[in-house]
Amino acid sequence: RVDQLKYDVQHLQTALRNFQHRRYIREQQERQREELLARTFTTNDSDTTIPIDETLQYNESLQNAHRGADDLIGSGTNILQGLRDQRVTLKGTHKKILDVANMLG
Protein backbone atom coordinates (compact mmCIF):
# COMPACT_ATOMS: atom_id res chain seq x y z
CA ARG A 1 0.00 0.00 0.00
CA VAL A 2 2.86 2.40 0.88
CA ASP A 3 4.69 1.51 -2.34
CA GLN A 4 1.55 2.23 -4.31
CA LEU A 5 1.25 5.64 -2.66
CA LYS A 6 4.93 6.42 -3.37
CA TYR A 7 4.41 5.48 -7.02
CA ASP A 8 1.29 7.64 -7.24
CA VAL A 9 3.12 10.63 -5.69
CA GLN A 10 6.02 10.27 -8.13
CA HIS A 11 3.64 9.95 -11.03
CA LEU A 12 1.70 13.05 -9.98
CA GLN A 13 4.91 15.04 -9.42
CA THR A 14 6.14 14.13 -12.89
CA ALA A 15 2.80 15.10 -14.42
CA LEU A 16 2.91 18.42 -12.53
CA ARG A 17 6.46 19.18 -13.75
CA ASN A 18 5.44 18.40 -17.35
CA PHE A 19 2.39 20.65 -17.03
CA GLN A 20 4.48 23.49 -15.54
CA HIS A 21 7.09 23.14 -18.28
CA ARG A 22 4.47 23.24 -21.05
CA ARG A 23 2.87 26.28 -19.41
CA TYR A 24 6.23 28.06 -19.13
CA ILE A 25 6.99 27.37 -22.81
CA ARG A 26 3.54 28.64 -23.88
CA GLU A 27 3.93 31.82 -21.79
CA GLN A 28 7.38 32.42 -23.22
CA GLN A 29 6.07 32.02 -26.78
CA GLU A 30 3.19 34.40 -26.08
CA ARG A 31 5.60 36.96 -24.59
CA GLN A 32 7.87 36.75 -27.63
CA ARG A 33 4.88 37.05 -29.97
CA GLU A 34 3.68 40.17 -28.14
CA GLU A 35 7.18 41.69 -28.29
CA LEU A 36 7.31 41.14 -32.04
CA LEU A 37 3.84 42.58 -32.58
CA ALA A 38 4.60 45.62 -30.40
CA ARG A 39 7.90 46.40 -32.12
CA THR A 40 7.89 49.20 -34.64
CA PHE A 41 10.11 48.61 -37.61
CA THR A 42 12.00 51.45 -39.23
CA THR A 43 14.15 51.77 -42.30
CA ASN A 44 17.82 50.94 -42.10
CA ASP A 45 20.18 53.63 -40.95
CA SER A 46 22.83 55.02 -43.27
CA ASP A 47 25.37 53.19 -41.11
CA THR A 48 24.30 49.90 -42.64
CA THR A 49 27.06 49.24 -45.15
CA ILE A 50 28.81 46.21 -46.46
CA PRO A 51 32.61 46.44 -46.40
CA ILE A 52 33.00 45.24 -49.99
CA ASP A 53 36.08 47.36 -50.67
CA GLU A 54 37.99 45.78 -47.79
CA THR A 55 36.91 42.33 -48.86
CA LEU A 56 37.99 42.97 -52.45
CA GLN A 57 41.38 44.22 -51.29
CA TYR A 58 41.79 41.17 -49.07
CA ASN A 59 40.81 38.87 -51.97
CA GLU A 60 43.23 40.64 -54.31
CA SER A 61 46.04 40.32 -51.76
CA LEU A 62 45.32 36.60 -51.43
CA GLN A 63 45.37 36.18 -55.20
CA ASN A 64 48.69 38.05 -55.42
CA ALA A 65 50.17 35.83 -52.71
CA HIS A 66 48.88 32.74 -54.53
CA ARG A 67 50.35 33.97 -57.82
CA GLY A 68 53.67 34.71 -56.07
CA ALA A 69 53.76 31.20 -54.59
CA ASP A 70 53.03 29.72 -58.04
CA ASP A 71 55.85 31.80 -59.56
CA LEU A 72 58.22 30.66 -56.82
CA ILE A 73 57.33 27.00 -57.43
CA GLY A 74 57.78 27.45 -61.18
CA SER A 75 61.17 29.11 -60.65
CA GLY A 76 62.24 26.27 -58.35
CA THR A 77 61.16 23.72 -60.98
CA ASN A 78 63.19 25.52 -63.65
CA ILE A 79 66.26 25.61 -61.37
CA LEU A 80 65.97 21.87 -60.67
CA GLN A 81 65.62 21.13 -64.39
CA GLY A 82 68.71 23.27 -65.10
CA LEU A 83 70.68 21.37 -62.46
CA ARG A 84 69.61 18.05 -63.99
CA ASP A 85 70.73 19.22 -67.43
CA GLN A 86 74.08 20.35 -66.01
CA ARG A 87 74.48 16.96 -64.31
CA VAL A 88 73.91 15.16 -67.62
CA THR A 89 76.38 17.49 -69.36
CA LEU A 90 79.00 17.04 -66.64
CA LYS A 91 78.57 13.26 -66.71
CA GLY A 92 79.12 13.27 -70.46
CA THR A 93 82.17 15.52 -70.10
CA HIS A 94 83.55 13.34 -67.32
CA LYS A 95 83.13 10.24 -69.47
CA LYS A 96 84.89 11.91 -72.42
CA ILE A 97 87.78 13.00 -70.18
CA LEU A 98 88.11 9.44 -68.85
CA ASP A 99 88.07 8.08 -72.43
CA VAL A 100 90.79 10.53 -73.52
CA ALA A 101 92.85 9.72 -70.41
CA ASN A 102 92.57 5.98 -71.14
CA MET A 103 93.60 6.54 -74.77
CA LEU A 104 96.65 8.55 -73.76
CA GLY A 105 97.53 6.05 -71.12
Tell me, letter by letter, the H, E, C secondary structure of the chain.
Answer: CHHHHHHHHHHHHHHHHHHHHHHHHHHHHHHHHHHHHHCCCCCCCCCCCCCHHHHHHHHHHHHHHHHHHHHHHHHHHHHHHHHHHHHHHHHHHHHHHHHHHHHHC
d(CA 75, CA 68): 10
Question: What pLDDT does residue 14 have?
Answer: 95
Encode the chain (105 residues) as per-residue pLDDT tens digits.
888 999 999 999 999 999 999 999 999 999 999 998 888 877 766 666 667 778 888 899 999 999 999 999 999 999 999 999 999 999 999 999 999 999 987
pLDDT at 1: 84
**Boundaries of every domain in the chain:** 1-40, 52-104
Per-residue model confidence (pLDDT) at position 49: 64
pLDDT given for residue 46 in this prediction: 62
